[in-house]
């Protein structure tokens, strides 16, 4: 940093002076040095501001390292943009108590302990305010989306009798499952979802409020009406109602799973309520919320087993993850006495891996896939799984 003092900055530009000193501090903290004040130029990224070129410590003068941008509208503020990383590495605002100073001839910028405390407290307040504002905006958007979802859902047709024709019904026929109470069909085309797509609503597990809904068309393509807004939500089969979690009416042993076809298949033979959550991430969210707030709950995780996906590569050249099984393990680790992981008993060392090699297009992941491939065994296997889970819970 060039040698300079306050007098080097025009006396009638107090905000410029404060902004420059503030930028010196931020640049120094983030590993940059600042050349002479005279090298400033009109800012290219905003009105009534200035730009100053920075170099990293260890770089030669004039090397293209970064630029500091300072704006004078109140309160004065600015940021450092790094040309190497293409990212903003520091942002700041001038406060009335900005107690910054230069030591010696400007060879270094330092904070006193009190200044450092004030700086950290100010940054913490700004972060909290930003987080609160973001949370408030997210909640407002969620409530708006939820209201729109409710209005749209009320306009959907009730589900037609099992065996009727139509895209939504065709999905049920393909999966070999029936329509549970509360499932509906769309009545009009909506984007990529054709008319009469299957509609699965998701309800907050404690309040029972509709959070959003999911459309499913033949082939299994799915899409949510809106985000879940961080809510733990499910669609219940075999409970008192699709919006009523079983623990509200004393049923403390139940299952959770990802998809509708999986839940409908497992519920057919399990003899207990099954909550459909939508995907692996939401499965973890719902299970965690129940385990934290319902001590009596005992949960069977009718998990997907995405082992075959691990034989494929993702975009980075790494094997894909077994999201279904990972979710079950993560939930089990939350409370080993109250969770029973129950993925389908695929034989990945024998018949199923060999069959998958011969017929890679046939799905082998969830309980619905298992029932489709082994229809004579599925009922007995699911029943045995539930009995084993009950024995496990009783022994803990």
Residues 305 and 382 in one domain: yes
Cα angle value 105/107/111 (rounded, 5°): 100
Cα angle value 50/51/55 (rounded, 5°): 155
Residue 103 lies in a domain: yes
Q: Within 13 A of 296's CA, how many CA atoms are on the CB side?
A: 8
The radius of gyration computed from the CA coordinates of the chain, to the nearest angstrom, equals: 30
In the numeric block, the tokens 């909290």 are attached to 128
Residues 231 and 89 in one domain: no
What is the overall mean pLDDT for the chain?
A: 79
Residues 387 and 272 in one domain: yes
Q: What is the mean pLDDT of residues 80-90?
A: 72
Nearest to 278 by CA among 298, 292, 257, 295: 257
Q: What is the mean pLDDT of residues 232-246?
A: 95
User: What pLDDT band is residue 347 in, cutting at 50, 70 and 90?
Assistant: very high
Q: Of the candidates 86, 110, 134, which is a domain's last residue?
A: 110
User: What pLDDT band is residue 130 in, cutting at 50, 70 and 90?
Assistant: confident
pLDDT at 383 over 90: yes
pLDDT at 6 over 70: no
Residue 136 lies in a domain: no
Residue 238 lies in a domain: yes
pLDDT per residue as tens digits for the range 260-294: 999 999 999 999 999 999 999 999 999 999 999 99
Residue 128 lies in a domain: no
Residues 52 and 154 in one domain: no
Residue 137 lies in a domain: no
Q: Of the candidates 83, 110, 137, which is a domain's last residue?
A: 110
What pLDDT score does 101 carry? 33
Question: What does the alpha-carbon distance between residue 263 and residue 278 come to, in Å, rounded to a whole number?
Answer: 10
Q: 307 near 348, Cβ under 8 Å?
A: yes
pTM equals 0.68
In the numeric block, the tokens 């099954």 are attached to 274
Residues 97 and 158 in one domain: no
In the numeric block, the tokens 């298949």 are attached to 265
Q: 133 near 214, Cβ under 8 Å?
A: no
Which of 87-96, 122-131, 200-209 has the weakest average pLDDT? 87-96
Domain of residue 93, residue span: 6-110
State the pairing for strand pair 87-93/77-82.
Answer: antiparallel
Higher pLDDT, 125 or 303: 303
Report which DSSP code applies to 48. S
User: What pLDDT band is residue 11 in, cutting at 50, 70 and 90?
Assistant: very low
Nearest to 266 by CA among 392, 364, 366, 162: 366
Domain count, the chain: 2
What pLDDT score does 307 carry? 93
Residue 134 lies in a domain: no
User: What pLDDT band is residue 134 in, cutting at 50, 70 and 90?
Assistant: confident
Higher pLDDT, 105 or 220: 220
What pLDDT score does 296 carry? 95
Nearest to 35 by CA among 15, 20, 22, 16: 20
Question: What does the alpha-carbon distance between residue 129 and residue 109 come to, in Å, rounded to a whole number?
Answer: 28
Residue 123 lies in a domain: no
pLDDT at 298 over 90: yes
Question: What does the alpha-carbon distance between residue 32 and residue 56 come to, in Å, rounded to a whole number?
Answer: 4
Residue 126 lies in a domain: no
Residues 155 and 102 in one domain: no
Residues 160 and 106 in one domain: no
Q: Of the candidates 67, 94, 110, which is a domain's last residue?
A: 110
pLDDT per residue as tens digits for the range 43-56: 666 555 677 777 77
Q: What is the mean pLDDT of residues 213-240?
A: 86
Q: Which residues contact 345 (CB under 8 A, 6 or more apart)?
A: 370, 381
Q: What is the mean pLDDT of residues 358-386?
A: 94
Residues 82 and 185 in one domain: no
77 forms bridges with which residues in the sheet? 71, 93
Question: What does the alpha-carbon distance between residue 243 and residue 234 come to, in Å, rounded to a whole number?
Answer: 8
Tokens for 37?
A: 């004040």
Residues 154 and 97 in one domain: no
Q: If you write DSSP's letter for every residue of 354-374 in order, what string do you get?
A: HHHHH-TTS--SSHHHHHHH-
Residues 42 and 163 in one domain: no
Q: Using alpha carbons, list the distances in angstroms from residue 259 to 206, 249, 297.
A: 20, 24, 21
Nearest to 321 by CA among 286, 280, 293, 361: 280
Residues 163 and 265 in one domain: yes
Question: What does the alpha-carbon distance between residue 373 and residue 377 come to, in Å, rounded to a whole number?
Answer: 9
What pLDDT score does 97 carry? 39
Residues 333 and 186 in one domain: yes
Question: What does the alpha-carbon distance between residue 252 and residue 260 come to, in Å, rounded to a whole number?
Answer: 21
Q: 196 near 169, Cβ under 8 Å?
A: yes
């Amino acid at each position: 940093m060039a040698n300079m003092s306050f007098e080097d900055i025009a006396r009638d530009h107090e905000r410029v002076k404060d902004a420059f000193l503030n930028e010196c501090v931020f640049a120094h903290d983030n590993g940059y040095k600042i050349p002479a004040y005279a090298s400033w130029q009109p800012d290219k990224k905003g009105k009534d501001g200035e730009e100053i070129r920075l170099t990293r410590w260890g770089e030669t003068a004039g090397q293209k390292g970064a630029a500091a941008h300072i704006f004078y509208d109140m309160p004065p503020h600015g940021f450092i943009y790094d040309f190497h990383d293409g990212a903003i590495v520091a942002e700041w605002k001038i406060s009335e108590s900005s107690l910054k100073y230069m030591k010696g001839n400007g060879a270094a910028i330092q904070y006193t302990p009190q200044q450092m405390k004030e700086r950290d407290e100010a940054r913490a307040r700004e972060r909290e305010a930003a987080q609160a504002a973001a949370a408030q905006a997210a909640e407002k958007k969620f409530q708006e989306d939820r209201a729109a979802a409710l209005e749209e859902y009320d306009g959907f047709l009730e589900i037609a009798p099992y065996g009727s024709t139509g895209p939504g019904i065709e999905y049920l026929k393909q999966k070999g499952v029936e329509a549970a109470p509360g499932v509906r069909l769309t009545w009009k085309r909506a984007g990529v979802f054709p008319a009469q797509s299957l509609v699965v609503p998701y309800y907050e597990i404690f309040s029972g409020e509709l959070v959003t809904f999911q459309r499913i068309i033949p082939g299994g393509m799915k899409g949510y009406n809106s985000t879940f807004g961080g809510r733990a939500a499910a669609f219940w089969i075999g409970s008192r109602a699709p919006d009523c979690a079983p623990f509200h009416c004393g049923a403390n042993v139940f299952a959770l799973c990802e998809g509708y076809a999986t839940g409908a298949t497992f519920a057919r033979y399990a003899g207990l309520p099954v909550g459909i959550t939508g995907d692996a991430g939401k499965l973890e969210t719902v299970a965690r919320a129940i385990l934290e707030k319902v001590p009596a709950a005992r949960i069977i995780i009718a998990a997907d087993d995405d082992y075959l996906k691990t034989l494929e590569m993702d975009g980075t050249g790494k094997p894909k993850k077994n999201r279904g099984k990972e979710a079950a393990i993560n939930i089990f680790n939350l409370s080993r006495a109250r969770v029973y992981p129950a993925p389908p008993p695929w034989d990945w060392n024998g018949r199923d891996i060999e069959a998958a090699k011969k017929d890679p297009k046939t799905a082998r992941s969830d309980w619905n896939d298992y029932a489709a491939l082994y229809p004579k065994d599925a009922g007995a296997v699911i029943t045995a799984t539930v009995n084993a889970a009950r024995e496990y819970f009783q022994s803990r």
